[in-house]
Homo-oligomer: A and B are copies of this chain.
Amino acid sequence: MEANMKVNKELLKGSTAVLVLTTLAKQDQYGYELIREIERQSEGVFAFKEGTLYPILHTLEAEGWVESYWQVHDGRKRKYYRITDKGKQHVKERKAEWQLFRTAVDRVIGEGGV
């Protein structure tokens, strides 16, 4: 599981919120765990650094898309995040946006069944 398989980081811009929110929609998770979970699900393509993910989580919380709560587990203090109803609505819109974007790129570059 090589970390940092070289996907241009610029490609990522605008996609992180939907990646994080979708993952949180399945179950509450804490930051450090989210990094591993997203890396696992993307099969190593997305390997967020902590310095990248934590500020994103703070932004998502400021927007009201997630809520956080501290919880001790296995003798460790962890800050869990839970998606809100507003966040669920938001992720629905962003997913639709992603579909639109993906389809448009594929049309131009000529992949995806054209």
Q: Which of A76-97 contact B (CB under 8 A)?
A: 94-95, 97
The prevalent SS among residues of A at the interface is helix
Q: Which of A15-35 contact B (CB under 8 A)?
A: 15, 18-19, 22-23
Can you name the residue of chain B whose Cβ is closest to the Cβ of A42? B104
This chain's copy number in the assembly: 2
**Complex-state Cα separation, A111 to B92, whole angstroms:** 12
**Complex-state Cα separation, A78 to B96, whole angstroms:** 38
Decide yes or no whether A108 CB sits under 8 A from chain B: yes
User: Lowest 8 A-B CB distances belong to which pairs?
Assistant: A10-B14, A45-B104, A11-B14, A42-B104, A13-B13, A10-B13, A22-B109, A8-B14
